[in-house]
Structure 1
Amino acid sequence: MNILISRLNWQNGTRINQYIFAVLLTIPLLSFGMIQGWLSPMLIVLQSPDGPSSQPLTSSDISWMTSVTYITAIVCGAPLGHLTDRYGRKIMTLVTTLSLIIYWQIKLICLEPWALILARGIAGIPSSACYIVLPIYLKEISDIDLRGAVGSLLILNRNIGYLASYVFADLLEVKTMLWMGLLVPTVMFFIFLVMPETPEYLVKQGKIEEAKAVLAWLRGVKATDRSVERDIDSIVKVDKQTQADAKSVWKIIWSDKPTFKAFIITLVIKISQQFDGYLIVLIYASFVTEKAAETISLELSPNKQVMIIGVAQLVGSILATCIVEKTGRKLLLVSTSVAVGVGMLLLSGWFYFTSAGFWLPGWLPVAAMCICIFADAAGFQPISYIIITDLFTFQLRGTVSSFANICAKVSNFVQMKWFTIICELISIHWTFLFFAIVSFLAALYTVIYFPETRHKTVEEIYQKLEKRKDVEENGS
């Protein structure tokens, strides 16, 4: 029996183990947040002759450093769903954490351009794994009424990592910050060694009694509890049905109408969220504030303004964790996507009018970026991950997560590689206007097609999608 289950075994009905487990599982995303957050304040430093590298990074180096992560994320992300189903959630979480350790070690050894690009390439592994493996692991150790809240912890911890990087970059030496980055995944690797597997994966492996023990431990009850027996029997039943069905995962997605509709909804929301401009604001925040400073004198340095954006992002994540199980997915998704669109529209307008010679206050672009990042973190982003676990059974989750992740990383790569070039070609205000339009269209799509998934099983959601399909066919 797993050491945690034998030592930390409360049997008074408390679900404290689920909360502890969920917090620990999302800490790798804190480390990945530090990886992503490190770029924004360091871009200007790395291009300076006085930077930590023996030679300043060129624009080409920066372009590859920001985009190479998404190339390896696409390549590594493709088989991750299958590997997670085959080798287990725990093993793949350990692999994810190990890749984070390697990233920080490379930077500690060398800060030359080639090493920075190599490290960013390695970061592509957690860039995919953190968003494929961890949401599945989280979903399968959480009760249905907790899944939205614990799912939001993924983005919350990642945003803590962003803010930590902004603050550390402003206060600490580069090497000290890198040691801090290495510490987090190293500690978590050893903690994950004693973590149990999920009940659903154990059932898949035929380990029914062990699955009962893990589920009972998560719920703080005895393994003979009727609710544990009932839920394990339900998982066994679904697993047997899946094994009896000779169809491949992709054949199920294409042939089953509710599943296909859920798949399309997932892709539309995931891709539109990636193209809402949040990543550009985060990675190029210093670039945007520096452009603002060219036109109007700002009282805060670009680094300090980036820290303000980090705080807004963190507050948005905290809000999402607190209210996602109260408001529901749909309302939160619509309201936050509209808010992101408004923020991007303000950014577009500010750059357009100031470039035309009009005076606008210097705090406006910073406030607009804060609105975008707050709203994205408060709903648009966490919901895009939560709905994958809401809309699909555990047999399909890994495959759908991998495919959605590939689409997301392709979107990220396109933005990272071409943002500065496109800004030079058509001006920065048109770029932000495009992000605004995407956000508004996403809100409209959600209103029309997205079903509320809060506290609903996959079967209940599919029944709703089936009814909507029947209504559309009868109407036509």
Structure 2
Amino acid sequence: MRALLPFRWFARFQDGGLANQFLMALMVTIPVMNFGMLMGWQSPMTPILQDPEGPAPEPISDDTISWMASVTFIPPIFCGFLAGDLADRWGRKITTMLTSLMLVISWVITLFSLRPWALITSRAVAGLACAGCYVVTPLYLKEIASDNVRGALGSLFILSQNLGYLIVYVAGDVFSFAAVMWMCTAVPVLHLIAFLAMPETPVFLVKQGKFKEARAVLAWLRKTTVEDKNLQEAVQQLEREEELAKSMQKASWKSIVKDKTTFKAFRISLNVMLSQETCGYLVVLMYAGSIFEQASESISLKLSPNKQTIVVGVIQLLGSIVASCIVEKTGRKWLLAGTSFATGLSMLSLGAWFYITSAAVWLPGWLPVLAMCLCIFADAAGYQPVPYVITSELFSFQHRGMVTSFVSSLDALSDFLQTKAYDPLLKLLGIHWVFIMFSAVCFFGTLYTILYVPETKDRTVEEIHAILEDGRKKEKRKGNVETGKETRL
């Protein structure tokens, strides 16, 4: 019987077109993987770029390295809205291809020159690709996925990014500088060519009035025929939503603020995303080398800097794989709450360890390593991917692009500020208070998720908004009781 399990799993995977949907999702997330490679590239390549005998015409200064790390997040602050607008005007497919094109240009600049201006310019161009990745990819994944795999496909976003980190960490340890550069450049080039054969999302095709093409794409994604009754009902539902959207006032920020339920969904999306971005995860990654170094003083843990980054990359990838496997079973709400609490607990442990050891009290070196690994794993297993899934599920397609663009811009601003404020914070507060401060952010995120974030698993936008509307009415009723008034709702 056990021998038949792989065949049963494969048959189940083929059923309902899951294989086609996963193939499409993997193709869509390749730019995100390459962006992860670009961000991770700096870690193994910095010592090479700063080596007087390295490939750069002159050793790259620490100031240039700092700007390389932070300048990537400047363009998304201003271009997030542009990426969302392009996705609504030109389509998800073309915008995804433009994202790959920006990645190609970024890598080509570095291939031709390794001078400081070229390295910083390359990262700035990559920032345009960052806007495309973080705005368009979640939209694409949401609009091609069946309800029963919506969360799993949505979590591939962070999984692909972490896979990109690990690939470039390993490549940087094994291959030459030039070989890594050409490999990283080849990925978006090949994606540009291969993605020409990929379809547009059914939602966008319906929005353009291309109902016949939408049926064909949906039939391929569900691995059925265009005459399938369930397929026809799905397309008709999309058509009804589009007709309703046309009959309504054009989606705008005014319409989001004016509708109290939509605005409540917007506040929830904003809060979970900001909690995710300001939880201090970047600080943990930046300080991973120091944690390994201090741990090696009391335990036999001698790892080269490249080996340390590979360990971090493996933990990230394992966490992302776990997220993709369990998000449809646990639901969004409790996976987010659990992983944010685990991240906060590990941050608090790191802060306590550094505070106690700074007072010349001995503590075992494996404690910070264990806390760091838990933080990285928990963040990748839910705290990072789930907010993107929730945000994509809270809104109809009229508002989804706008909200995703706005949240993406705020996230990029947060990342930029954290990257630039890293050293000043360390000098002002000390690493222990920095970790304790970030743990408070994580715990606040846990509490907020439990109290206010609705479960979006297996629910339509209308069902989710009904839950939010009911919650808003309960709050209003409670307020009326407290003030001695009665209002019929």
TM range (shorter): over 0.9
Residue of structure 2 equivalent to 1:172: 175
Q: For the residues of structure 1 that align with 2:134 and 2:218, how far apart are their CA atoms? A: 23
Residue of structure 2 equivalent to 1:207: 210
Query: Matched residues, percent identical?
Result: 50
**3-state DSSP class of the match of 2:458?**
coil
Counterpart among 115, 134, 153 of residue 137 in structure 2: 134
Counterpart among 41, 45, 55 of residue 52 in structure 1: 55
The yes-or-no answer on 1:100 pairing with 2:103 is yes
* Contact 2:297-2:365 within 8 A present in 1 as well: no
Deviation at 1:82, TM superposition (A): 1.1
Residue of structure 1 equivalent to 2:422: 419
* Contact 1:305-1:366 within 8 A present in 2 as well: no
Counterpart among 225, 229, 233 of residue 232 in structure 2: 229
The yes-or-no answer on 1:119 pairing with 2:122 is yes
Stretches of structure 1 lacking an aligned partner (at least 5 in a row): 1-10
Deviation at 1:294, TM superposition (A): 8.1
Residue of structure 1 equivalent to 2:73: 70
Q: For the residues of structure 2 that align with 1:381 and 1:93, how far apart are their CA atoms? A: 21
Deviations 1:198-219 (A, max 9, x none): 1110111111111111111111
- C-alpha spacing 1:79/1:28, structure 2 compared with 1 (3 Å): same
Which stretch of the first structure deviates more once superposed, 419-428 or 363-372?
A: 363-372
Deviations 1:100-142 (A, max 9, x none): 1112212222222221111111111121211111111111111
Give the TM-score of the pair, scaled to structure 2: 0.91
Deviation at 1:334, TM superposition (A): 0.5
Which stretch of the first structure deviates more once superposed, 386-395 or 443-452?
A: 386-395
* Contact 1:81-1:399 within 8 A present in 2 as well: yes
Counterpart among 441, 446, 459 of residue 456 in structure 1: 459
Residue of structure 2 equivalent to 1:401: 404
The yes-or-no answer on 1:364 pairing with 2:344 is no
* Contact 1:80-1:402 within 8 A present in 2 as well: yes
Counterpart among 85, 91, 94 of residue 91 in structure 1: 94
**3-state DSSP class of the match of 1:193?**
helix
Residue of structure 1 equivalent to 2:158: 155
* Contact 1:152-1:321 within 8 A present in 2 as well: yes
Deviation at 1:14, TM superposition (A): 3.6
* Contact 1:40-1:284 within 8 A present in 2 as well: no
Q: For the residues of structure 2 that align with 1:389 and 1:87, how far apart are their CA atoms? A: 19
* Contact 2:219-2:225 within 8 A present in 1 as well: yes
Which stretch of the first structure deviates more once superposed, 378-387 or 428-437?
A: 428-437
**3-state DSSP class of the match of 1:131?**
helix
- C-alpha spacing 1:125/1:156, structure 2 compared with 1 (3 Å): same
The residue identity in structure 2 corresponding to 1:165 is: V
Let me know the Cα RMSD of the aligned residues: 1.9
**Number of equivalent positions:** 466
Deviation at 1:374, TM superposition (A): 0.6
The yes-or-no answer on 1:23 pairing with 2:26 is yes
**3-state DSSP class of the match of 1:452?**
coil
**3-state DSSP class of the match of 2:147?**
coil
The yes-or-no answer on 1:253 pairing with 2:256 is yes
Which stretch of the first structure deviates more once superposed, 169-178 or 402-411?
A: 169-178
Residue of structure 2 equivalent to 1:6: none
Deviation at 1:410, TM superposition (A): 0.6
The residue identity in structure 1 corresponding to 2:275 is: S
The yes-or-no answer on 1:276 pairing with 2:279 is yes
Residue of structure 1 equivalent to 2:8: none
**3-state DSSP class of the match of 1:222?**
coil
- C-alpha spacing 1:246/1:353, structure 2 compared with 1 (3 Å): same
The residue identity in structure 2 corresponding to 1:204 is: K
Deviations 1:357-402 (A, max 9, x none): 2223333333222111110110011111101211011111110000
The residue identity in structure 2 corresponding to 1:57 is: I
Stretches of structure 2 lacking an aligned partner (at least 5 in a row): 1-13, 480-489
* Contact 2:45-2:177 within 8 A present in 1 as well: no
The yes-or-no answer on 1:187 pairing with 2:187 is no
- C-alpha spacing 1:36/1:290, structure 2 compared with 1 (3 Å): farther
Q: For the residues of structure 2 that align with 1:341 and 1:308, how far apart are their CA atoms? A: 21
- C-alpha spacing 1:458/1:337, structure 2 compared with 1 (3 Å): same
- C-alpha spacing 1:204/1:14, structure 2 compared with 1 (3 Å): closer
- C-alpha spacing 1:436/1:365, structure 2 compared with 1 (3 Å): same
**3-state DSSP class of the match of 1:115?**
helix
Q: For the residues of structure 1 that align with 2:279 and 2:47, how far apart are their CA atoms? A: 25
- C-alpha spacing 1:141/1:304, structure 2 compared with 1 (3 Å): same
Q: For the residues of structure 2 that align with 1:393 and 1:325, how far apart are their CA atoms? A: 21
Q: For the residues of structure 2 that align with 1:159 and 1:361, how far apart are their CA atoms? A: 29
* Contact 2:294-2:365 within 8 A present in 1 as well: no
Deviation at 1:283, TM superposition (A): 4.4
* Contact 1:135-1:386 within 8 A present in 2 as well: yes
The residue identity in structure 2 corresponding to 1:20 is: L
Deviation at 1:345, TM superposition (A): 1.3
**3-state DSSP class of the match of 2:340?**
helix
* Contact 1:298-1:363 within 8 A present in 2 as well: no
The residue identity in structure 1 corresponding to 2:442 is: S
Give the TM-score of the pair, scaled to structure 1: 0.94
Deviations 1:408-451 (A, max 9, x none): 00100000111012212221121111111100100000000000
**3-state DSSP class of the match of 1:54?**
coil
Residue of structure 1 equivalent to 2:475: 472
